[in-house]
Amino acid sequence: MSSGRGLLEVIVLDARDAEQAQLGGADRVELVAEMALDGLTPSDDVVREVLAATDLPVRVMLRQRGSFLAADLPGLRARANELLALGAKEFVLGFLTTGGIVDERATRTLVRELDGAGWTFHRAVDHARDVRVAYATAARLGCDTILTAGHPDGVTEGRPALEQLALHEEPPVLMAGGGLRAQQVARLREAGVRAFHVGSGVRPLGWVEAVDAPAVRRWAELVHG
């Protein structure tokens, strides 16, 4: 990602969402299921349909349960290989220990299955005992992006932490997301944040509605500057 143009990632649940995200000018999509559980791995059929529906990069969630613990690591490894066989090329993952720190062993084990695929360490960092320490640990694990709100309750509470994290110019890319509001983008951009992640913000009626291309376009204009 260049230092000038920002990156807009949109959460999608199905092929229609992906089509609308691309039509609206998104740069990338994150494919998940079960947003009520903060995003789980979608079904095989949905993965196939979304990969066929868009030319955008598709990051597929690799998370089987509504927890940030890697409770079934063999199952996650098997699922990663199934997703690769379906054509998935990019992923979203990351795990914590019961003590609230980044589970480096589990995350590295799963990343080895991905055979060099690009991946995002997701908002598990926001639920760690210390967000900044978790971010620094995640940054050492080989991801190219870290998705964070800076706080478990979202960007409004986490903005000061995001602005501090944005001071680090080294990879991985800091992607702000989690209750992100359009009016927060300009200030975060001024602080150095260049990547943004939205879900309900591009669905005028919330998660009961599909992604709306005009809403994506408005976000793209803010993010791309």
Structural domains of the chain sorted by starting position, each given as residue range(s) with its CATH number in brackets: 7-224 (3.20.20.380)
User: Tokens 């509001």 map to which residue?
Assistant: 181
Report the residue count for the chain. Answer: 225
Residues of the chain with confidence (pLDDT) below 70: 1-4
CA distance 75 to 224: 39
CA distance 6 to 109: 31
CA distance 115 to 84: 9
155 close to 149: Cβ distance less than 8 angstroms: yes
- How high is the pLDDT of residue 2? 43
- How high is the pLDDT of residue 25? 98
Q: Give the tens place of pLDDT for each residue, 91-150.
A: 999 999 999 999 999 999 999 999 899 999 999 999 999 999 999 999 999 999 999 999
DSSP 43: P
- How high is the pLDDT of residue 5? 83
Q: Phi/psi zone of residue 154: left (φ > 0), alpha (ψ -120 to 50 degrees), beta?
A: left
CB atoms within 10 A of CB 139: 19
DSSP 123: G
What does pTM read for this prediction?
0.96
- How high is the pLDDT of residue 4? 62
172 close to 143: Cβ distance less than 8 angstroms: yes
3-state secondary structure of 21: helix
Q: Where are the alpha helices (DSSP H) in the chain?
A: 15-24, 44-53, 73-86, 104-113, 131-139, 155-165, 185-191, 213-224
The separation between the first and the last C-alpha atoms of the chain, rounded to the nearest angstrom, is 14
